[in-house]
Amino acid sequence: MSADEKSGSLLEARNVTKRFGGLAAVSELNLHVDKGELVGLIGPNGAGKTTVFNLITGVYDPTVGEIVFDGRVINPYKPWQVTRFGMARTFQNIRLFRELTALENVKIGSNTGSRAGLPAAIFQTPKLKQNDRILEERSLALLEKMRLSQVADTRAGDLAYGLQRRLEIARALATNPKLLLLDEPAAGMNPQEKHELRELIREIRREFELTVMLIEHDMKVVMGLCERIYVLDYGQIISQGTPEQVRTDPKVIAAYLGTETAA
């Protein structure tokens, strides 16, 4: 179907509207993310950015329209299925498995690569043990890459804030995604950490041949990182283009700062 027409698009939202009761949180949203791109989604508080993420990942069902990921309409699927199609996300307010160690967190992410059923787990078959060993090695390698090796056995809830953010990205990568969605990855970070985060995102993108979409408040992070930006306000896309185009768009400036004529 349309996967052929737009062979480059990994993710596409077609005319998506989401209403909560009478309120249209997102209306007539059209966006596409091509393979290998790094796309930003920005907008003032309450613009509906996280709602867009929740629509894309299957947490919400669109009221109207459809979401296409990797050539498949994903509306009817649950979030865990969407993740298995190759879409991983982080959360605005960190949602780690706090009582578990960093390594265990990443291993849970890697469960999408677990081939063994429950009986195999109960009887500890050699096949399962081998499969589990591979997953553990992969998880350790991933922690290494994310420079989290030293804290592999630390309880996730005990980690410093910046490390928790990084661990959440590591956990998302463990699911082996094609598309990584980052919900405000720089929130609450200091300038040094933000700088490191930018480098990290560039690095993992190269390393894992990822397509990345990120929501961000921090202009510096978005502008320095993204190739293309969508600007969302009141649930509608008011502008899109390169960082340069978006920065100078009067509509964007109005949305962020207000205009003299604005009521």
Partner 1 sequence: MVRWALGRVVSIALTLVILYFISTYVGPRLQEYVLNVVVLCGIYVILAVSLNLINGITGQFSIGHAGFFAIGAYTGAAWSVLWLPRIIDLPFLKLGTFVGDATNLVIALILGSLAAGVAGFIVGLPSLRLRGDYLAIVTLGFGEVIRVLLLNTEAVGGARGMSGIPALVGSFHMELFWILLIIVMVIQLSRNLMRSVRGLTFLAVREDEIAADAMGVNTTRVKVTAFVIGSMFAGAAGVLYAHFFTGISPDAFDMNTSIIITTMVVLGGTGSVTGSVVAAILLTALPEFLRFMKDYRMVIFSTTLIVMMLTRPQGIFGHNELRWPRFLRRRKPAGQGSAA
The contact set with partner 1 (CB under 8 A) reads 57, 59, 78-81, 83-84, 88-89, 91, 95-101, 103-104, 107-112, 114, 116-118, 120-128, 131-132, 135-136, 152-155, 171-172, 174-175
What's the DSSP call for residue 27?
A: E
Complex with partner 1: residue 27 or 90, whichever CB lies closer:
90
The residue type found at 86 is G
Minimum Å gap between C-beta 110 and partner 1 is: 7
Minimum Å gap between C-beta 251 and partner 1 is: 33
Complex with partner 1: residue 27 or 57, whichever CB lies closer:
57
- Characterize the bridge pairing of strands 38-42 and 211-215: parallel
Complex with partner 1: residue 105 or 240, whichever CB lies closer:
105
Return all residues near 15 (Cβ < 8 A) that are at least 6 apart.
Answer: 28, 29, 30, 64, 65, 66
Contact (CB, 8 A) for 13 and 75: no
Identify the residue whose tokens are 């950015």.
49
Contact (CB, 8 A) for 34 and 10: yes
Start-to-end C-alpha separation, the chain: 45
Minimum Å gap between C-beta 262 and partner 1 is: 37
Complex with partner 1: residue 77 or 230, whichever CB lies closer:
77
Minimum Å gap between C-beta 141 and partner 1 is: 14
d(CA 241, CA 145): 32
Contact (CB, 8 A) for 42 and 230: yes
Minimum Å gap between C-beta 112 and partner 1 is: 4
Minimum Å gap between C-beta 219 and partner 1 is: 27
d(CA 139, CA 172): 11
Complex with partner 1: residue 99 or 260, whichever CB lies closer:
99
Tokens of 159: 């980690």
Complex with partner 1: residue 56 or 229, whichever CB lies closer:
56
